[in-house]
Structure 1
Amino acid sequence: MSLSALDLLHRAVADAGFTFVHAPAMRALLEQQAPLSDWAAFAGSWDRLEPDAYLARTGRARRRRHGAYRATRDGAIERAPHRPHYQSLDYNPLQGGIERWFAPIEDGIADGASLRCILAFARSVFDRLAPDVRAWQVEAHQFRIEATPGHAGEPTPEGRHRDGVDYVLVLLIRRDNIASGTTGIYRVEDGREVGSFTLTTPFDAALVDDHRVLHGVTAVSPLDPAQPACRDVLGVTFRREDGH
Structure 2
Amino acid sequence: MTSSTSNTLTTGQQLGDGVPAFSEQVRRAGFIVLRKPELAGLISDADLEELRGAWENLPVDTQVDGVGVYRERRYGRLRVDVDGDAVTFEVLPNAVFRQDAIPLWEGKDRLFEPVTEDVLLSAGLRALVGFDARMATAVNGNTSWTVGVHLVRVVARAGADGLPTPEGRHRDGHSCVGLHLMRREGVTGGLSTVHPNDGSDIVQTTLLQPLDSMFFDDNLITHEVSPTIAEGTSGVRDMLQVDFNPVD
TM-score, L = length of structure 2: 0.87
1:1-244 map, 5 Å: 4-28=17-41, 30-31=42-43, 35=44, 37-74=46-83, 76-88=88-100, 91-131=101-141, 133-188=142-197, 193-223=201-231, 225-226=232-233, 228-242=234-248
CA distance in 2, matches of 1:146, 1:241: 34
In 1, Cα distance between the equivalents of 2:149 and 2:219? 19
Please give the secondary structure, in 1, of the residue aligned with 2:184: strand
Q: Is the 8 A contact 1:148 1:222 kept in 2?
A: yes
TM-fit CA distance, 1:173 = 0.2
Q: How many residues align?
A: 230
What is the alpha-carbon distance in structure 1 between the residues aligned to residue 175 and residue 95 of structure 2? 19
- Give, as a single letter, the amino acid of the residue that structure 2 aligns with 1:84: V
Contact in 2 for aligned 1:183/1:218 (Cα 8 Å): yes
CA deviations on 1:190-237 (whole Å, 9 max, x unpaired) are: 6x65211100000000001100100100000012x23x3000010001
Q: Deviations over 1:160-182 (max 9, x none)?
A: 11110010100000000110101
Residues 71 and 137, structure 1, Cα contact 8 Å, conserved in 2: yes
Runs of 4+ displaced beyond 4 Å: none
Per the alignment, do residues 134 and 5 of structure 1 end up closer, same or farther by CA in structure 2, a change over 3 Å counting?
closer
Paired letter, 1:27: A
- In 2, the alpha carbon distance for the partners of 1:165 and 1:203 equals 22
Amino acid aligned to 1:213: I
Structure 2 counterpart SS, 1:153:
coil
Please state whether the residue corresponding to 1:152 is helix, strand or coil: coil
- Checking the alignment, whether the CA contact within 8 Å between 1:145 and 1:230 is kept in structure 2 is yes
**Unmatched runs of 5 consecutive residues or more in structure 1:** none
What is the match of residue 4 of structure 2?
Answer: none
Q: Where do 5+ consecutive residues of structure 2 fail to align?
A: 1-15
Contact 1:36–1:113, Cα closer than 8 Å, also in 2 = no
1:5 Cα deviation from its structure 2 partner: 2.5
Structure 1 equivalent of residue 5 of structure 2: none
| 1:106 Cα deviation from its structure 2 partner | 2.1
Provide the secondary structure at the position in 2 that maps to 1:104.
coil
